[in-house]
Amino acid sequence: MEKATFAAGCFWGVESAFRKLNGVISTQVGYIGGKTENPTYEEVCTSTTGHAEAVEIIFDPEILSYDELLSVFWKIHNPTSLNRQGFDVGSQYRSAIFYHNTDQQKLAIDSMKKLDESAKYKRPIVTEIIAASQFWKAEDYHQQYHEKRG
């Protein structure tokens, strides 16, 4: 099993998109990339903790590749929108790939370069590609939010 962590706006929809994939063993939503220890949703929403809303994915690489996860990541959000996705505004909604090893880092950089060269977007891609740091699990009511509430 391997771990992948992505931020692409509100974590409810991001988690929902990845949970549907064959090869995803589990997901959890939470906060990553900030300076506050064990942040709460209310704190993260102030955009002062530095955290991004993210989904941590455990997947079976024999069934689902990291490249396939990256492909889904690029499709489910606008990577040219700085600190915003749709109506959600703030640094907690930024686009970011938090890599867990050098292979993931290389694949993420290569996929972003390929997307950028495709000229799909008129504006530059602003997605951060950074080493994964401490992931703080979000409150229980955020976990599998769309499955619980439709």
Whether 150 shows a pLDDT value over 80: the answer reads no
Quote the strand ranges of the chain, DSSP E: 2-8, 24-32, 52-59, 84-85, 88-89, 95-99, 128-131, 136-137
Q: How many domains does the chain have?
A: 1
Q: 132: domain range? A: 2-149
Give the mean model confidence (pLDDT) for residues 121-144: 96
Contacts of 49 (CB under 8 A, 6+ apart): 31, 34, 35, 36, 39, 43, 92
Which residues belong to the active site?
A: 10
Where residue 75 sits, what CATH number does that domain have? 3.30.1060.10
Q: What is the pLDDT of residues 59-70, one digit of tens each?
A: 999 999 999 999
Q: What is the pLDDT of residues 82-107, one digit of tens each?
A: 999 999 999 999 999 999 999 999 99
- pTM of the entire structure? 0.96
